Structure formats: C-alpha cells, structure tokens
Structure 1
Amino acid sequence: MSAAIEQQSARRTARRPPQAPSGAGFLLGQALVLDLVLAVGAVATWPIYRSTALIIVLTAGIAAGHLVAALGTRWRWSAWWVALATLAVYVAIGVPVAATGSLASPDAALRALVDVATAPVTGWKDLLTLELPLGSYQATLAPALLVFVGCTVAALSITWRARRWWMPAVLVALLPTAFGVAFGARALSAPLRLGTLAVQPETLVGVGAVLAALVAVVWRSDHDRRRALATAAAASGVARGPRGRRRGLTARVTTATGMVIAATAVAALWGPWALADRPREVARSVVEPVLELERAPSPLASYRASFDDDRYDEALFTVSPAQGVDRVRVATLPFYDGRTVRAVAPDAGLTDPATAFTRVPSRLDADAPGEVAVSVRIQAGTGIWVPTVGDLRAVSFEGSRAAELADGFFLNAATGAAIDIADPAPADGDAYRLVASVPAEAEPVASLTPSRSGPALPAEVVPASLTEWMDTQNAGTGGAALDTLLDRLRSRGYLSHALLLPGGDAPAWLRDLGEAGFQPSRAGHSTDRIGALFTQLIERESSSPDGSDADLVAAVGDDEQFAVAAMLIADQLGFDARVVVGTRLASPEGLPVCEDGVCRGGDLAAWVEVADAAGRWVPADVTPQHESFPSPDLEQRRDPENPTQVRRDEAEPVLPADASPADGERSEPESTPQEADLTALWTALRIGGVSLLALVVLVGPLVTILTVKALRRRGRRRGDVAARFTGGWEEYVDTAVDHGYTAPAHLTRRELARLFAGGAEDAAGVRLATWADRSAFDVAPPSAAENDEFWRIVAAERARFAAEKGWWARLRARLSLRSLVPRRRAGRR
C-alpha cells in the first residue's frame, strides 16, 4: 500500500507545472534584454521633451522599477502590493526628479507634489496642450516617469515570475515606445539622409522597437529551450551535443535577422512614399485646449473704447527695456467674415492646427538670431490678450500668481498672438519676462511678391466700392501697387475716433492732435462700414478728378476701419494679410508711441501685416493723416438764399394730442435681473470633483476587490444543497490561498485539507473535505442542516487563518488577488 502511494505521488509530481526560472544569471539577462526595449521607448520619448532632465528622469525611473520588481519577486508580494509599492516610489521620487524647479520654496514643493500625485489622472492634458518641446516645464516630466516606472516594474515582475506566460512582459516593455509616438508632434521629423536614401527617424524608432522586442523573445525562448533540454537530459541521461545547440541557435538568429532586415527595407522604401503629404495622426491632433476666445470680443471691435477720456491716459502695461523693439503685439486677427476680424477661423475654430492656441513650455526651440529679453508689467491690462514682442521663444511669469498665469498662457505660433485664460485675467501687479527673436529691419512693402494670383476672401465680404476704387487708381500689381494704394488711402483719409463731438471741452485725443478739427466717424468695420468709406473716396474723386491728395481727403475714420480696408486691398492683390492690434515703441513717421515704455489707452493702434511668397510678414501702418481737413461740398458752404424768420408774437403753442387708449400705460422698464456669481461654486465643484476622482483612483480598487469577494461568497451560499457544499469548499480553499497557502491542483480535497491544517488528520478542514466529497459523489447528498454546520466551520476556518497572521498580513489577505485568478480547482467534477 505504501509503495502504491509513493508511485501515485511520483506521478503527481511529474505532472506539476515547471517552476519559474531563477538564478542571478537569468535575472540579470532577462533584465538586460527588457532594458533594451525600454531604451527604444526612451528614444521615442525624447522629441517630446528634448531636455537633459528627461535622461535623469528615465534613469531614475528604470532603476526604481528594477528595485521594486526585485523586492516583489524576492518576497513574493502580491500584484496589489507591487502596485502600491510602485505608486509609493513614483510619488517619493517624483518631486525631486520630475519637478526639480519646485524645490525653491515649500509652497512650490507642495504644489509640485500635488501635480505629481494627480499626473496619472490629469497629466495627459499638459502633454497634449503644451507646445513641443516641453523641456522640464513644471511637472510635465511626471507622466513619463510614471510610464517608465510602471512599465519596468510590470515587465520585470511578469517575466521573472512567469513559468510559461512571459510574453506579455515584452508587450508591456513596448508601451513607452507607444507613449512617445502617441504624445509626439503632429508633423514628422526631417528625414535622415544616408547617401541617396532618406529615412524617417520615426521609421528607425519603429524598427528599433521591433528588433529589441525580437531580441527579448529570442533570448527568453532560447533560455527556456536550453532549460527544458537540460531537464530532459538529467531525467534520461542523454545529452544533446554543443554542435546541435549551436546549429539551432544559429538558425533562429538567422531567421530573426532576415525578418528584421526585410521589414526595415520595406519600411524605408515604401514608408516615405506612402506617407507623403499625410498628417501624422497622434493624440495631439484631436485634443485641443478649451479656451474663452469664442466669448471674448474682438480687440478691434473694442478699439475705440480706449480713446474715451477716462481710459485715454490710463496705463495698460509697461515694457522695459524698450530698446531694440519698435512694436508690441496685443492681438493678431487674420480672419474676416464681413462683420468683424477675429483670431480664429470661423469655419475651423480652435481645432485648426494653423491657428490653434496651445500652451507654451519654458522654451519653444533653440536660440535664434536677434533675440532680445523684455520685461512686461501689467497695470490696467488688455483682458485675456497678453502683450508680446517679435517671435516668442520663451516666457516666464513672476509674482505670487506665476504658476496660475503660466498654466493659463496660450500662444498662437502661426500669428504670434498670446492669451492668458487664468481667472482673473492678468491685472495690476502681474509681470512676466519674454525672450523673443526680433528682425533687424522690416522690408519695404513695395518689394513684396504676392503668393496668389487672386483674392482668397469670399466676394460677399468685399465691398463693391473697394474694388471700384482700386480699379480707378491704375496702381498696377504686386508690392508696388499695394504700397501706392496704402499711401493714397492714408493721405486721403482723416483721423477721427468719435461719432459726435460732445458739448464742452474737446476730448483728450482731439487736443493731442493740435490744430486738427473734428469730423464725426461711425465705429465698426463691417462690409457696409468699409464700403461707405470707399464710397466717400469715389464721390470726392469724381467731383475733383485732378485734385491733389489734400483736395481728395474724404474718408473719415481711424485704425479700426483703415486696417480692415488695407487687409482687403492686400487680399485683392494676392497677398495674405492680417490685422494686428498693439502699440508702437518707436515710429519714424511721427505716429503715437509709448513714452518711456509706458503704453496707455491712447497709444493703442492697429496696422496690417502682409506676407509675400516666401512667407515673410511685413508690417504696414495705415493710420490716416490729420493735417488736411476734409473740404466741404459747395452746397454745404453756400448760405441759404431765403432765410426763415421766426415771429414770436404769432407763434402759437401746439399742445400734444391725447394719448390713445390703445397705447395703454407705459410700464416702467424692468430691471435686468442680476446673474448670481457662481465662480466660487464652480471652483468648489471643480476641486471637489478632482478630489473625488483622486479618491476613486486610490480607494476604488480596494473597494472593488472587497465587493467582488463579498458577492462571490454570497453567491456560493445560494443554490441547491450540493452547490452550496461545493461553493463552501471553494470559499475555504480561496481563503487559504489568500493567506499565503498553496493549493496544488493534483491533491485531493482531504490531502489539501491536511496541508492547510499542518498534517493533522482530525482538523476541521478534513470534515469539510468529507462533506464536499459526499455532496459530489454520494447518492444521498448531505442535508440542509449539515450545510449550515458546513458553512459555520468554513467561517471558523476563515477566522483561524486570519488569527495566524498579523494586522498587515490580514489586510493583505483581504486585498489579495490570488484567489481571483483562474486556476484548476482540486476535487472539482
């Protein structure tokens, strides 16, 4: 009998699945091949940041991942505890490694800690809304740290512990490469020239990822094969010669190398041709920041409000030093729909890559020629529009709201305009420093070459009087024609910022003009308003065909109308043009400038920027003159021939007619209901929502595990009597497994119960095994009363398992995932 039991035990031992490989050589080799795959992911991530700080972050992250995976493998931590340790290590090294600039003060460090902790939930937004490269801006390195720490721990834990299912480790190690591709730039990088062959860097990254993954698979497969052959040779005594091993390895390496070479050749030759003129579809292509531009009024529409007496001398912002900069850009408005000029395309809106506003990291690109550093201090401010100079390279905010303003800063790289949607908008006391590239000298407009042969704006938004006036000027074509038409438009216009001259003193803007007289001017820059402007010019020129520019002054308005008119003229000649609202720090033509860098409301101006065929943008001033007063018409100057005399003694007062009953009584105008200020409520809801989301992310998995186990235990106590006995036995085994016991599939129920009881034959678990066998195989199953006693013993055994452990071990058992992993059940039918 004893010999039969030993033979049966030997057969069961032979059927056991092989244990996970171990040994320092295996652990080190497996880590190296997976590190090779992670290194390709680091190369794919580099274009997102382009900073040496990324190297430090990835080195620290991969090293920390190796440490956590090694400790978890050594001490056989459950998946849940490995995940908690990974998260703890990520938070611990996140602030000093991924947000080094936050160590300047305790407040900054606390803010960085919050950013690092919330990066798993909100970090993707910064990656998708900031303009590349990100550098080490704030905590944008935290998502990369999280990806590399998590993938390193997961890949090594899987491959070091797995017996057969180690392949997912390679797929997990490829996730950093996918991260670099998904969060990369919209456009492909410049191709690398290898002689006559042009290869995209993205192609090389893809080939490198495939090659590194293939190396990892071949290495592990060869290791497992050699291990299996060694086991078979030990069992049979027949060993395979080294020549056969070398032949098999050579064949596998040759096959893999041939596959890689063929795939690389196909990708290098076919990829550039197939992807030519196709945009790169990445996550950044479909996610855009939500801005307030749609609700903000056009800066040109509110241009005249700056010339009211209460705002004319109000300081908006101060620029220092002002040397080397002649213009400050507040807003750039390239689109016209017949009603107003705006910053975003009416049809594409904020999702158009050419005009979208994106967040700006610490620096946009490498140093450029003609760079200047300028400090700007906000006073009254210009709303959400942020004054900038030249071609922006870097921006850094100062003061107590620096982080908040930096988070709300967005730049339109195509137009150079910037906005800040922080709440509240930049105001008195806020300051920032700009680094920008400023051209040495602008080219003359007459030297420009149009990029088109005809207009781009729809005909319905262009006044007919504008095209008629252009035809009568006989100015020719190209840049010379544009320069001539803009010069005639300015010299035949007259500056006026108001509709009616108020009674009393003259307005401040009129006093600053000196001897200039007042002419009323209607606001607005719609198609109708611009058409009326050119109608005045045509009528005056028709009445004085041979008059000089001073005789032909007729169009009355200011920069609001004349900038839009110049934009339409440039478009008709084939030029791309846009309106710019800003201030001048220097002007050779005597136009208003900011004194000592202090820009006031009356210093605001509007001009146009015109692009030639080479894509260079050249500014052109369009402010009308104010020296030559418009000549009145002959009928306006003639005195009336028959003046009317009023005889007071014959004048009779005329009483108003009685009110019509149909009119009813006129009610008092209803007061406009004041909308409640919900800013504090929305702020509280936003903070509460983020806190709740973070709580769900941290605590949700714990509650889910406890809930699943409770529902499983409840379901096992239901059904027929036999099913309740089987379910009770499975609950007993799962409890033991969660508390660290192993449950070999080849053992019977009684053997498994003795294993859990330390070999005791009279243990309560043995009674459970007997009842469970009766419920499965006996003709007469146990009764319902025995079932209640069975579950009472299960509860007692669960309490015994818990009593054997400490507090932390009991908590680990409750949250263990071992019993939730599918496995072969012992004693199941």
Structure 2
Amino acid sequence: MSASAPTGDRPAAPSLATALRGGAARRRPRRDPDAPGTLAAVVPDRDALVDLGFAAVLCSIALVGMRTGFLGVEWVVAAWVGLLLGLLVGHLAGALRWMALTTFLVLTATYFLLGGPVAVRDNLLGGVVPTPQTFVDLATWAVTGWKKWLTLLPPVDARGAVVALPWLAGLLGGALTLGVARRWASIPLTALAPIALLAASIALGTSQPAALLVQGVGFAAVLVAWLVVRSHRTRPPVQNGAGRGVRLATGAALAVVALLAGTFAGPALPGTSATERREVVRTRLVPPLDVSQFASPLPGYRRYTEPNDAKLYDQVVLRVQGLPAGTPVRFATLDHYDGLVWGAADRSSDGVPFQQVGSRIAAAREGESAEVRVSVPDAGYVGNWLPTVGDPTRIEFSGPRADELADALWLNTETDTAVVQAGLLGGETYAMTAVLGPTPARELPKDLDVASGASTGVDTDFLDARIDAWTSRAEGGPWSKLRAFATAMRTEGTYTDGGTPNSFEKVYLPGHAVSRLTRFVGSSKLAGNDEQYAATLALVGQRLGIPTRVVMGATPQAGGDVRGKDVHAWVEVRLDDGTWYPLGAQTFVPSRDKTPSEQQLKTEEQKVGAQVPPPAGVSPPSVLQGPDQAQNATDLAKRKKNPFDVTAWPLWLQVLAGLVALAALVALYLVGMRWLKRRRRRKHVAAGPVPGRAAWVWRDLVAEARSLGVAVPRRVTRREQAHAIDAAVLEASLVPADEGAPAPAAALPDDVVTVSSVAGAVDAVVFGPGDGDPASTDALHEHAEAALTTMRSGVGRWTRVRSDADPRPLLVRRERTAPAGPWWRRVRVPSLPRRGGSDPTPA
C-alpha cells in the first residue's frame, strides 16, 4: 500500500526509514509559521501565573513544618531556592510537554550541579564549583539522609550536608506541584502533590507543632481557593457569562467558612492540646546506637588514683578554660545498674534516648551560660565518653580529627552525657557553650524534697542490714535515711585505692559488682574509694525508693588543669520537680588519709576468710566487655582489608564505580523494558478469541507509535488513526524546497509495510465472518512488528531510547469509544466467569 501527494511529478520514492529521517539530506522539517515559538510557549500567561502563585504559597506553608527540625536560617535559604527552581522546572515541563524521564533528568542535574553552592558548601572549589565529594554528599543524603536526620537531636544545626534535605524537599515539592497542575486539568490530581508535601513535613517533624494555624487553616484555605479557581476555568460560562460572579462568591464563602471553622474548632480537635504527645516518625524510630558497646568509665576509676600503672594521679588529663571556679566537668552519667556495673542506659528514665547532634544544640533550659574550651593532652584522658559541662548548646571540634569526631557525636539531653564513637585518643581540642547547672553539694541539706518510686531489677537485699543499722535513728522520710547513711559512710568508713603491690591493701579489689559490694558493706569497716562508695550510696537510694544515679567527672583546679587526683564519682538524686540534685563525693566518701589498718584486715579474714587478689599482671575484665574482646580486637587488627569493601576504596574509585553502576542500571532498565513490551505484544496474540487478538495487535502498535512521539488521535476508527500516523511520516519526509520552486511530492514506497495496511488487515479480522483463523493473527503480528521496526529505524537514536524507556505501552488498556464519566461510574465489581468460556473481547 502506498500514499502519494496529489500534485507534481513523482520522483523516486524514498524508503520509509529515509522518509522518517526527513529525506535524503536529513534536513530538519519545516516549522509551521503560525505555530508559537519556544520562547512564546514558555512565557507564562495569566493562568500560569495564578497557578505559580498558588503553588508557591502552598509549598511554602508545607515547608514550614521543617522549622522545628532545623536550627538556623541556612535551611530556609536552601528550601526557598529549591522551591523557586522546582517551580521553574515544573513550568517548563508543562509548557514544553516534557516526558517524565526528561523532567527527572533535569531535576537530577539541578540538584547535583546547584546543590553545592546552595546547600552543601563544605568541599567547593572557590566556594562555587562542586567537587566529587560534594556529589557524594548530595547523593548520600538524598537516599539515607532522611533516616539520619530523624535520629539527630532536633533542632539540628542547619550547616553542612544536612541542608541537602530541605534543598531536595523544596525542589521536588515545587516541581511536582506546578508540573502536575500545568500538565493535567484534574482537580483532585492538583491537590495531591501539595498535600503529600504537607503530610511529609508534619510526619518528619517533631512532637512540637511548627505552626498549627498556618499549616492547618491557612493551607486548607489556600488550597480550596486554588481548586475553586481551577474548577472555574474548566466550566463553560452560563448564559453568556452569567453566573460567574455567583460561583466565585460561593467559592469565597466556602473558603471563609472553612477558615473560621478551622480557627475555632481546630484547638478542640484531638492532638492539638499541649499536654498530649504528638506522634511523629522520629518518636517511633529507635536510634541505632548501643551505648553498652562502650565500657563504663567507673570500673576504670583506679587509673586516676595512686599508686597505679597509668601514673595519672599528678598528671594533667584535661585542660579546661572559661569555666567558673567549682563547676564540675562531667565524664558520664551512669543511670543503669545490672548487677555488674553502673553504666549509661540507651534511654533515660524519662525515655530520652541518645541522639546524634551537630555542632549546635537547642537549649533545654535557661540559665547562666559559659564559653568553655577543652583540650586533651597526649597520654591524658582517653575514651568514648566526651567530657562536658552543664547542658551543652554548642560543641565544635578542631584539629586533624575534627571531622571524624563531629560526624559521630551522640548526646542524651536528659543525662547530659555525650559519646564520640571515634573516641578521644589525646591531642584533641573542642570548644563548648553550655548552660551551667548546680554544683555538687559540699554539705548534705537537712531537708530535701526528693522524688519517689525508684526500683532496681537487681536483688540488693545485702544492703538491708547496713541500712537498718545506720538509719534506725533517722527521723523523717527517705531523704533523712539516705542522709544518715551517707554521713555514716563518711565518718565510719575508710579509704583505699588498693595500695602498692606489696601492701596488705592489695586485697581491696576494684569493681562494684554485687559480689564486690556485698563484701564491701559486710565488713566491720567499709574500705574502698569513690567507685565503691558512690555505687553503694546510689543503690541505697534506690532501695529507699529515691531515683538516684552515679556521675563520674572532675572539678578543675584554679588554672583550669584537671589532674588524676581531681577525678571523682558522685551521686545525684532526683527532686520532685524533675531536676537532679548532686551530692559531692566529700559528703559520703571518707578522707584519703583515713586508710584501713592491717589489724582490721586480719579481723575480717578471721570472720569471712582471706581475700585472694588476682594473679599479678592480670586485671579484672571490664564488665561491659567480653573475656575474648582483647583477642578479638587483635584479630580484627591483623585481619586484611576486604577488596570488595566499597567504603575502603579511594573516593575517585567510588565515584567511578557509582557512575558505572548507574549506567548499568539504565542499560538494564532499557533492555528489560524492551523485553517486557515484546513479551506483552506476543502474549496478546496467543490468548483469547481471534478478533480480540487482532484488536490487541492494533492497540500495541498505536501505543508504540505514541511512545515514538506521534500524536495519534483517540476515540476514532483504526483507519483514521492509521491515516494520522502515515500523515506524520509523509510530513517528516518532505524536503524544504528552494524559494519560488514548487512543493515536492513525497510518497511511501510500495515495498514497505505501512500502518494503513496493518489497520486494514486488523479490520478484516475483527469484522470478518466467523470466529477467524488463529494463524491469521500470527501473520498479523509479524506484519505489525515489521511496520514498527521500519518506523523505529527512521527516527533518531535519542527518540528510540526515549521510546524504550517509556513504560506507557505496558499500561495500555481497551480504548474507550464513549466520553469518560466520573471515576466512580467506571468501577467494576469482579464476578465469576460464565459457563461455556469467557466473553469475547470487544473490538
């Protein structure tokens, strides 16, 4: 079958592939002079400007929900710049009718190329040009950054790579909201993107609402107004424009009613009360930090005493500048006892977990603040517990390990305990701003309004005899008894750090497990140091029902130096108002010069037997470490690096591997889509009645033509659709003639398979007599495949790639021959098939 122009001499017919390429010279086809240019198409008209304004306001209101999750103004700039660029991309996608893949590629390029100067500014060249590390940060935070942000302590310091999140949210929110609005006229579809953005900002926010009235009432009012305006565009005027004012007035009245109803009824709705806890994603997310992996500092207290192998008693372990005199430095708050050790719990008694923080931290309370600078000398303080002061509001590291320490800084705001996973090794320096808390009491108050209800899951019956003996004369409640017990410990106990290896005091072992404390309190005279006294007093407080915890830290000397002898352990008790009152070590630990006597030891040995110290050179294992940990650590150090560990590769190799993997995924996607489409076409000609098979051959061919960019009309006959496709081929085959020359004629050669011939063959099968021959559908399928192959060979490579990536041919269904009604009228209830076979597929 052929088609030709009605006028002019007929030249040698070009092949269909040559015709689709635009002629032998591959010239660009002539543009319609009446068609608007590209510049005119992208200039927004009145309707586009209205949609742009509404989309900008709605997305801005939705992004307000991120306010409680960030600290600073950097995130506002990133979110707004992303929103403006997203609106621009959405407008261009709607005006130029971009495919979804094209829009995605433009958004991806915008995110990575401009994400450096706008959001991730740490590794830029000259402050503008992104580096490979910038692309890695942007890609990492776009995928896994959301979970990391949810595990950080809100509000998060809006500096660094975390700003990529509001930048991405604004970019995607603006592009989807305006792009959908300019591409489709559906009213429900218009509201989908802004509502999804609002829901995401609320769900990923904090338990503190960002702006109830703005996000609730304001968002609803603006959205209703926009939907009313868009609905007004699609409705024809009644009586030559009459009734338009009535509809606008009705829409305005509905918006006002919704605004008033939300204003007055909103505060009464569930979840709006300040006393109710707001459930968001981060409240249900358990932070991925197990603090039990870090050994408690209390079992290592003897490192700071004398004599000991570490020799830290007179050595400077910390230098603290800017701290008021008498203010302690906190190493760790130990609020959980498991029978072996006092350690830090993953969550405090109030359920507050350890959360990863940035350099700036939101203040939990008001009070006097101090600017403190801490330096760790070599061979000084070591460990994962970061020494802090009061309630930290800023922690900034400096030095060669600054990034390594700052990237994994965790803080519990209830216990004011900080952890650095990389650990302090000596030589680190960091600055800190903190709200100062109360200093440990040097004398026990007579009256103290303590809280109640504390209990421990460990059996501490061994304390009862000593509690009864020392608190029997105490008058008052639990605090009076705890005060009497602490006073008796200080006045009747003795102090020892274990003495020298040849001293009789070597039998007083370190540790504070139940077995060690049982021996400690069972002696006629207590003998130990801060470790045993603080651990025992905290357990006594819990035995009396008072919430207690142990704190290990130090009080700097006048010059700011912290030596080993300045390190102590004290106890904190909880008051009725929820605050914690510190009891200084001097209130319950006896003086260092009050040492046990050898005669006392002999008396104890006669009663309970001799205490056998561990063999020389063998230290008791840390309670939070397994006995094989040292061997395991040695094995890990000797283990060779895995060459398949991507994190150990150089940065350039990681980037190259990522690009290769991305290219492989794209190629796999294209090959997979082509295979699925071919399999679907083959499946349609192998099942069902013959007329239905033939009809599916035509539907699949039309779907492939549309994926190649051909505008095929809907709800017309197959012959009319085939005529449109052939006309597009003929128009592409026309070669522009010289000025004044007659228009050349073009025709399709007789030896190629045209779409019109396929349409005629399909009609012959569908409307032919009888049920048809199944063999004819196979021939018809081959006929259509030949037409599709010829059609694809005549387009450019980029057009073929776009067609291969287009998933729409996989989603094609029976075409409707009647105007589409509301969606609820098109819902079909599934029913059982009739006997005698399935119904024939309509043509």
CA–CA distance in 1 between the matches of 2:106 and 2:225? 29
Distance 1:398 1:290, change over 3 A: same
Alignment partners' CA distance in 2, 1:634 and 1:28: 92
Deviations 1:118-170 (A, max 9, x none): 2231011221111111131321121222122112111211111113x242231
TM-score (norm. length: structure 1): 0.77
SS in 2 for 1:564: helix
Change (3 A) 1:579 1:187: farther
Deviation digits for residues 192-217 of structure 1 (CA, Å, limit 9, x no counterpart):
xxxxxxxxx43652233322222222
1:757 aligned counterpart, secondary structure: helix
Q: Is the 8 A contact 1:722 1:781 kept in 2?
A: yes
Q: Which residue of 2 aligns with 1:525?
A: 512
**How far off its partner does 1:94 sit?**
1.5
* Corresponding residue of 2:700: 731
Q: Please list, as runs of the form range in 1=range in 2, the aligned pairs for 1:757-796 lying within 5 A after superposition.
A: 757-758=726-727, 764-779=754-769, 790-796=780-786
Question: Which residue matches 1:192?
Answer: none
Q: Distance in 1 between matches of 2:93 and 2:526?
A: 81
CA distance in 2, matches of 1:445, 1:695: 69
Q: For residues 222-621 of structure 1, what are the structure 2 equivalents within 5 Å?
A: 222-225=232-235, 228-229=236-237, 238-241=239-242, 244-271=243-270, 275=273, 277-304=275-302, 307=305, 309-313=308-312, 317-321=317-321, 323-324=323-324, 326-344=327-345, 349-350=346-347, 354-365=351-362, 369-377=368-376, 379-380=378-379, 381-422=381-422, 425-439=423-437, 445-446=444-445, 449-452=448-451, 456-457=455-456, 460-461=459-460, 463-472=463-472, 474=474, 476-477=476-477, 482-483=482-483, 485-498=485-498, 501-503=500-502, 518=505, 520-536=507-523, 539=524, 554-571=525-542, 575-586=546-557, 597=561, 599-600=563-564, 604-614=567-577, 615-621=579-585
1:215 has 2:225 as partner: yes
Conserved? CA contact 2:79–2:168, under 8 Å: no
How much does 1:732 deviate?
2.2
Query: Aligned equivalents of 1:693 and 1:441: distance in 2?
Result: 53
Distance 1:219 1:633, change over 3 A: same
SS of the residue aligned with 1:63? helix
Identify unmatched segments of 5+ residues in structure 1.
Answer: 1-19, 190-200, 507-516, 540-553, 588-594, 641-670
Is 1:178 the counterpart of 2:175? The answer is no
The question of whether the paired residues in 2 share the 8 Å contact of 1:445 and 1:618 is answered with no
Cα separation, partners in 2 of 1:213 and 1:278, compared to 1, 3 Å: same
* 2:198 partner amino acid: T
Q: Percent identity?
A: 24
Could you tell me which residue of structure 1 aligns to residue 9 of structure 2? Answer: none
User: What count of residue pairs does the alignment treat as equivalent?
Assistant: 711
CA contact (8 A) 1:127 1:183 kept: no
Amino acid at match of 1:363: R
Partner of 2:212: 202
Q: In the TM superposition, what is the alpha-carbon distance from 1:706 to its structure 2 partner?
A: 4.6
Q: Aligned-pair distance for 1:283?
A: 0.9
Counterpart of 1:811 in structure 2: which amino acid?
Answer: V
Which residue of the other structure, out of 81, 102, 107, is the alignment partner of 2:102? Answer: 81
Q: Secondary structure at the match of 2:550?
A: strand
* 1:813 maps to which of 803, 813, 817: 803
Which structure exhibits the higher relative contact order, with contacts defined as CA atoms closer than 8 Å and separated by 6 or more residues?
2
Report the counterpart of residue 48 of structure 2 in structure 1: 27
Alignment pair present for 1:63 and 2:27? no
How far does residue 115 in structure 1 lie from its aligned partner after superposition?
1.8
SS in 2 for 1:184: coil
Instruction: State the shift of 1:68 in Å.
Output: 0.8
Tell me by how many angstroms 1:25 deviates: 0.7
* Alpha-carbon separation, structure 1, partners of 2:601 and 2:248: 106
**Which of residues 109, 120, 124 in structure 2 aligns to 1:99?**
120
More moved, 91-100 vs 812-821: 812-821
CA-to-aligned-CA distance 1:41-60 (integer Å, 9 cap, x gap) = 12222111142112211221
- Residue deviations 1:226-263 (CA, integer Å, cap 9, x gap): xx22xxx7xxxx5143xx32223212322332234224
Letter in 1 for 2:47: F
CA distance in structure 2 between the partners assigned to 1:113 and 1:630 by the alignment: 65
Structure 1, residues 585-623: CA drift from partner, whole Å, max 9, x if none? Answer: 139xxxxxxx862545x6543222233333143241144
**Structure 1: which amino acid aligns with 2:255?**
A
Is 1:717 equivalent to 2:682 in the alignment?
A: yes
Q: Which of the residues 109, 134, 141 maps onto 1:119?
A: 141
SS of residue in 2 equivalent to 1:618: strand
CA spacing shift, 1:445–1:803, aligned 2, 3 Å: farther
Give the whole-Å Cα distance in 1 for the aligned partners of 2:94 and 2:425.
56
How far 1:824 sits from its partner (Å)? Answer: 5.5
Match for residue 14 of structure 1? Answer: none
Distance 1:635 1:494, change over 3 A: closer
Equivalent position amino acid for 2:526 in 1: A
Which residue of 2 is the match for residue 643 of structure 1?
none
Q: What amino acid sits opposite 2:331 in the alignment?
A: V
The verdict on how the C-alpha distance between 1:353 and 1:713 changes in structure 2, with shifts beyond 3 A counting, is: farther
Question: 2 CA distance for matches of 1:50 and 1:790?
Answer: 66
Which of 680, 684, 705 is 2:645 aligned to? 684
After superposition, the C-alpha distances for 1:294-331 in whole angstroms (9 at most, x for unaligned) are 23332222333555733123968532426426422211
Shift in Å at residue 357 of structure 1?
A: 0.7
Task: Output the TM-score relative to the length of structure 2.
Answer: 0.75
- With over 3 angstroms needed to count, the CA separation of the structure-2 counterparts of 1:40 and 1:133, relative to structure 1, is same
What secondary structure sits across from 1:446 in the alignment?
coil
2:42–2:96 contact (8 Å) kept in structure 1: no
Q: Aligned residue for 2:36?
A: none
- Secondary structure at the aligned position of 1:774 is classed as helix
CA distance in 2, matches of 1:136, 1:104: 21
**Residue identity opposite 2:426 in structure 1:** D
Tell me which amino acid in the other structure corresponds to 1:337.
D
Cα distance 1:270–1:582, how it changes in 2: closer, same or farther (>3 A)? same
| 1:301–1:749 CA distance, 2 compared to 1 (3 A) | same
Gap change, CA 1:258 and 1:696, over 3 Å in 2: farther
CA shift, 1:63, in A, is 0.9
Aligned residue in 1 for 2:829 = none
Provide the C-alpha distance between the structure 2 equivalents of 1:521 and 1:56, rounded to a whole number of angstroms: 62
- The answer to whether 1:128 aligns with 2:99 is no
**Distance across 2 between alignment mates of 1:111 and 1:599:** 41
SS at match of 1:173: helix
CA distance in 2 between counterparts of 1:502 and 1:801 reads 94
Query: Is 1:501–1:518's contact at 8 Å kept on the other side of the alignment?
Result: yes
C-alpha RMSD of the superposition = 3.9
Structure 2: 5+ residue runs without aligned partners?
Answer: 1-40, 607-629, 731-746, 818-841
**Separation (CA, whole Å) in 1 of partners of 2:641 and 2:486:** 50
Q: For each residue in 1:504-547, what CA deviation from the matched residue of structure 2 results, as whole angstroms up to 9, or x when unmatched?
A: xx7xxxxxxxxxx94631332233433433333xx4xxxxxxxx
The answer (yes or no) to whether the contact 2:151–2:287 under 8 Å persists in 1 is yes
Other structure's SS at 1:393 match: strand
Q: 1:652 maps to what in 2?
A: none
Cα pair 1:362 1:395 within 8 Å, conserved: yes
1-structure distance, mates of 2:166, 2:454: 47
Note the C-alpha offset of 1:172: 0.8
Distance across 2 between alignment mates of 1:399 and 1:825: 68
1:338 CA drift (Å): 3.3
Q: Give the Cα separation in 1 of the matches to 2:184 and 2:368.
A: 57
Change over 3 Å in CA distance of 1:339–1:122 after alignment to 2: same
Indicate if the aligned counterparts of 2:703 and 2:812 stay in contact, CA closer than 8 A: no
Counterpart of 2:555, as a letter, is R
| Distance in 1 separating the partners of 2:575 and 2:662 | 54
Give the whole-Å Cα distance in 1 for the aligned partners of 2:85 and 2:469: 73
Q: How much does 1:464 deviate?
A: 1.4
Distance 2:590 2:215 in 1: 57
